[in-house]
Amino acid sequence: MPLSPSPPFTVALAKGALLKDSVRRFAAAGLDFSALLDPDNRLLRVPSACGSAQALLVRNADVPVYVAYGQAQLGVVGYDVLREHRLPIAQLVDLGFGGCRMAVAVKASSGYRRALDLPAHCRIASKFTRCAADYFASLDLPVELIHLTGSVELGPLTGMSEAIVDLVATGRTLRDNGLVAIEDLFHSTARLIGHPLSLRLDDGRLRGIVERIGSAAT
pLDDT tens digits along 30-67 = 999 999 999 888 888 888 877 789 999 999 999 999 99
Q: What is the pLDDT of residue 216?
A: 78
Q: Write out pLDDT tens, residues 185-207.
A: 999 999 999 999 999 999 999 99
Is residue 16, in this structure, part of any structural domain at all?
yes
Tally the domains of the chain. Answer: 2
Higher pLDDT: 144 or 218? It is: 144
Identify the domain containing residue 32 by its residue range.
9-98+189-217
In a domain, 66, yes or no: yes
Q: At what angle do helices 19-28 and 205-217 cross, to 10 degrees?
A: 110
Would you say residue 15 has pLDDT above 50?
A: yes
**pLDDT reported for residue 41:** 83
Q: 158: pLDDT confidence band, cut at 50, 70 and 90? A: very high
State the Cα–Cα distance between residues 58 and 82, nearest whole angstrom.
Answer: 15
pLDDT confidence of residue 3: 41
Is the same domain home to 196 and 157?
Answer: no
Q: Are 67 and 16 members of one domain? A: yes
How high is the pLDDT of residue 1? 40
Tell me what pLDDT residue 49 has: 76
Domain CATH number, residue 26: 3.40.190.10
Is there a domain that residue 2 lies in?
no
pLDDT of residue 16: 92
Co-location of 20 and 79 in the same domain: yes
Residues 93 and 106 in one domain: no
**pLDDT tens track for 64-119:** 999 999 999 999 999 999 999 999 999 999 999 999 999 999 999 999 999 999 99
Residue 165: inside a domain:
yes
Is pLDDT at 131 greater than 90 in this prediction?
A: yes
Domain match, 148 and 160 both: yes
| Statement to judge: residues 94 and 193 lie in one domain | yes
CA distance 121 to 123: 7
What b/e sequence results for 14-32 when a residue is b if at least 16 CB atoms lie within 10 Å of its CB, and e otherwise? beeebbeebbebbeebebe
Mean pLDDT to the nearest integer, 172-186 = 96
How much is the pLDDT for 217? 66
Q: Say yes or no: 71 and 170 in one domain.
A: no
* One domain, residues 182 and 208: no
Do 75 and 108 share a domain, yes or no? no
Q: Are residues 77 and 25 in the same domain?
A: yes
Domain membership of residue 46 (yes or no) is yes
**Does 17 fall in a domain?**
yes
User: Is there a single domain that holds both residue 71 and residue 104?
Assistant: no
> Does 148 fall in a domain?
yes
How far apart are alpha carbons 200 and 192 in whole angstroms? 16
Are both 15 and 93 inside the same structural domain?
yes
pLDDT at residue 120, rounded to an integer? 97
- Is residue 3 in some structural domain? no
Pairing of strands 190-194, 74-78: antiparallel
**Contact criterion met (CB below 8 Å) for 172 and 100:** no
79 SS3 class: helix
